[in-house]
Amino acid sequence: MAYYIARRLGLAVLVMLTISFMSFLMLKMSGDLAISLAGEGSGADYVEFLRKTYGWDKPLPVQYWNWLIKALQGDVGTSFYYGSPVLSLIAERLPATLSLGAMAIAMALAIAIPLGMAGGRAPGSIIDRIALFIALLGVSTPIFWLSFLLILVLGIQFAVLPISGGGSVRHLVMPAMALAFYSMPAIIRISRAGMIEVMRSEYIRTARAKGLRPWQIYLHHALRNTLVPVVAVASVQFGFLLGGSVVVENIFAIHGIGYLTWEAINQNDYPVVQAALLAVSAAYVVLTLLADIVNMMIDPRIKLE
């Protein structure tokens, strides 16, 4: 297991280096950062001064190398807009996004896994049709529309939940519901398909032939093997929730990574945008690694090759 984890960590480092270079390159291609930072009406001398100050007059590989060396030392730059170290801004906003994402994925898993597995146990039944309908509805419903609907119903009509801010757990319920509903379809479909495949397997028929009760077959045999693909999908969905919460955080005024990224884009705050991209990418990489380790523990048949 130690060799497997070490090898995956090495791959994760290579992936992060690739992502860091691609994000660095794409942001450079978005336009002249010196002109954006200087603002309209600025003279050529001031623009050239900014280029030299931030090292933007050097070749692109040299710029990336200089940034990478500083990043490995914990310095990912200073925010143009806030004037604070970018790393401190990310650390300040990250807990809000992690809390929101954790609550959303917990809601999605608590509903989607039982619903998908119940539908997979009896394909074509009423519960299966309900599961497929909810999955279709989740894919078809825009997340911003659902967010406004939740505000209208739960925040204004019945006034049971606060509609903005992130001061308490209650403030996170509505945005977590919106994100969870958006993540449920993939989990429902994969758990349903996994249950259908498992229930048709040879060892399930053998368990039935031995006279095991249905709940024993379901809990001790089918459930464990069905969870393997679900864990992988859930890790990806959790990473998506962390990176795709820009719209929801802005609608509900939650000052997390998504809200910070939106502010940075509006203010042409290049260092913050790049750091936010790297933070979300790192979350994907770490979650994928953890999912592989968990799947290895669930299913010993997974080989560490």
Domain stop point among 15, 38, 72: 72
> For residue 108, what are the CA distances in angstroms to 71, 90, 181, 182?
35, 26, 7, 9
Residue 77 lies in a domain: no
Q: What is the CATH number of the domain that holds 256?
A: 1.10.3720.10
For residue 46, what pLDDT is reported? 84
- Tell me the C-alpha distance between 287 and 81, whole Å: 31
The reported pLDDT for the residue numbered 131 is: 93
Claim to verify: residue 174 and residue 257 sit in the same structural domain: yes
- Residues 239, 151: one domain? yes
Q: pLDDT tens digits, residue range 218-245? A: 777 777 778 888 888 888 888 888 877 8
Question: What's the whole-number mean pLDDT along residues 269-279?
Answer: 87
Helical ranges in 200-298 per DSSP H: 202-209, 214-217, 223-243, 246-251, 257-266, 270-298
Residue 13: band (very low, low, confident or very high) from pLDDT cuts 50, 70, 90: confident
User: Do 177 and 107 contact (CB within 8 A), yes or no?
Assistant: yes
Is 78 inside any structural domain? no
Domains of the chain: total:
2
Question: How many DSSP H helices and E strands does the chain contain?
Answer: 14, 0
Q: Which domain holds residue 256?
A: 86-298
pLDDT band of 129, cuts 50, 70, 90? very high
pLDDT (0 to 100) of residue 301: 61
- CB-based contacts of 92: which residues, under 8 Å, 6+ apart? none
**Residue 171 belongs to a domain:** yes
Higher per-residue confidence, 85 vs 23: 85
Are 143 and 265 members of one domain?
Answer: yes
The per-residue pLDDT for 135 is 93
Please report which confidence band the pLDDT of residue 78 belongs to, taking 50, 70 and 90 as the band edges.
Answer: confident
**Residues 24, 146 within the same domain:** no
Q: Band of the pLDDT at 303, cuts 50, 70, 90?
A: low
Residue listed under structure tokens 């990806």? 236
Higher pLDDT, 190 or 38: 190
What's the whole-number mean pLDDT along residues 287-301?
Answer: 76
22 and 110 fall within a common domain? no
Average pLDDT over residues 24-34: 77
State how far the Cα of 74 lies from the Cα of 85, in Å rounded to an integer.
10
Asked if the model's pLDDT at residue 57 lies above 80, the reply is yes
Q: 24 in a domain, yes or no?
A: yes
- Per residue in 182-204, pLDDT (tens digit) is 899 999 999 999 888 888 888 77
Assess contact for 291 and 302: CB atoms under 8 A.
no
Question: What pLDDT sits at residue 125?
Answer: 92
Q: What confidence score (pLDDT) does residue 187 get?
A: 93
3-state secondary structure of 165: coil
Question: Per-residue pLDDT for 76 more than 80?
Answer: yes
Shared domain for 52 and 95, answered yes or no, is: no
Lookup: tokens for 116: 């998908």
Cβ count near 78 (within 10 Å): 17
Statement to judge: residues 141 and 181 lie in one domain: yes
The verdict on residue 305 lying in a domain is no
Q: Which of 72, 94, 112 lies at the terminal end of a domain, its last residue?
A: 72
Residue pair 86/271 in contact (Cβ under 8 Å)? The answer is yes
Instruction: Please give the share of the chain, as a percent, with pLDDT higher than 90.
Output: 31
Q: Are residues 226 and 104 located together in one domain of the fold?
A: yes
Residues 129 and 217 in one domain: yes
Do 221 and 140 share a structural domain?
A: yes
From the list 132, 108, 86, the residue with the least C-alpha distance to 275 is: 86
Span 132-183, pLDDT tens digits = 999 999 999 999 999 999 999 999 999 899 988 877 899 999 999 999 998 9
Residue 176 and residue 232 in one domain: yes
Question: Reduced to 3 states, what is the DSSP secondary structure of residue 161?
Answer: coil
Q: What angle do CA 39, 43, 49 make, to 5 degrees?
A: 85
- Give the end of a domain, one of 20, 46, 72: 72
* Contact assessment for residue 166 and residue 255, using Cβ atoms and an 8 Å cutoff: yes
**Nearest CA-CA partner of 219 in 206, 232, 201, 207:** 207
pLDDT at 300: 61
Q: Give the per-residue pLDDT at 302.
A: 60
Non-local (6+) Cβ contacts of 61 within 8 A are none
Residues 146 and 178 in one domain: yes
